[in-house]
Amino acid sequence: MSTKNIAVIVGSLRKESFNRKMAVALSRIAPEDMKLEIVEIGQLPYFNQDFEESPLPEWVAFRDKIKAADAVLFITPEYNRSVPGVLKNAIDVASRPYGASSWDGKPAAVISVSPGAIGGFGANHHLRQSLVFLNMPTMAQPEAYVGGAAQLFDEEGNIQVAGTKEFMIKFLESFEAWIGSHL
């Protein structure tokens, strides 16, 4: 089986982000034929349609990275029961120009990570609404709302909670199958 290149979009810019830690930890436990690569979004200027005739270089580079990926894994915190603005901006940037979305048809999955007990449930589902519009077949099961993030990682950034690690391995295996059924 050929390697699947997965663009990982982390919805948090914070240096010690639990979501970034999850992305890195997942790259270590992913199946051999899945290559997870974080595609940075913090450098993207805000989307402004006025620049669409001559797109900004950062937009073009980001769109090209998304187009080159076989699938997309979103890992996001929850801000005010929704996704962070930086993530929404990245979605908007790669959805343009109209009719040529970089997201179109890419299999997707969503993980929300939070220190709170409900694990970013609101952000997870709000993001899914946008993914429907973007024509991204999004894995429905298993759902991944990861709470208690402050105790989740060891000093090296690995998932130290055995049950969560087992769940995330199963999640990645399910995503691998999902991708295979949509490519």
Residue type for position 122 = G
- Helix (H/G/I), strand (E/B), else coil: 118: coil
Given this model, what pLDDT does residue 7 score?
98
Other Cβ atoms closer than 10 A to 148 = 15
Which of 165, 181, 172 minimizes the C-alpha distance to 8?
A: 172
Q: Is the alpha carbon torsion for 53, 87, 17, 22 positive or negative?
A: negative
Per-residue pLDDT reduced to its tens digit, 10-19 = 999 999 999 9
Q: Which tokens belong to 105?
A: 């048809």
Q: pTM, whole model, 2 decimals?
A: 0.97
Per-residue pLDDT reduced to its tens digit, 74-85 = 999 999 999 999
Is the confidence at residue 133, as pLDDT, over 80? yes
Question: What is the arithmetic mean of pLDDT over 32-58?
Answer: 96
112-138 burial string, b = 16+ CB within 10 Å, else e?
bbbeeeebbbbbbbbbbebbeebebbb
* Domains by residue range for the chain, with CATH: 4-182 (3.40.50.360)
Other Cβ atoms closer than 10 A to 166 = 12
Given this model, what pLDDT does residue 107 score?
98
Per-residue pLDDT reduced to its tens digit, 102-117 = 999 999 999 999 999 8
Given this model, what pLDDT does residue 17 score?
96
Other Cβ atoms closer than 10 A to 97 = 11
**CA 130 – CA 87 distance, rounded (Å):** 11
Percent of the chain surpassing pLDDT 70: 99
Given this model, what pLDDT does residue 1 score?
60
Question: What is the arithmetic mean of pLDDT over 82-98?
Answer: 97
Q: 16 forms bridges with which residues in the sheet?
A: none
Given this model, what pLDDT does residue 178 score?
98
Given this model, what pLDDT does residue 183 score?
83
Mean confidence (pLDDT) of the chain: 96
Which of 108, 98, 96, 125 minimizes the C-alpha distance to 178?
A: 108
Q: How confident is the model at residue 168 (pLDDT cuts 50, 70, 90)?
A: very high
For tokens 């929704």, name the residue: 82
Residue type for position 3 = T
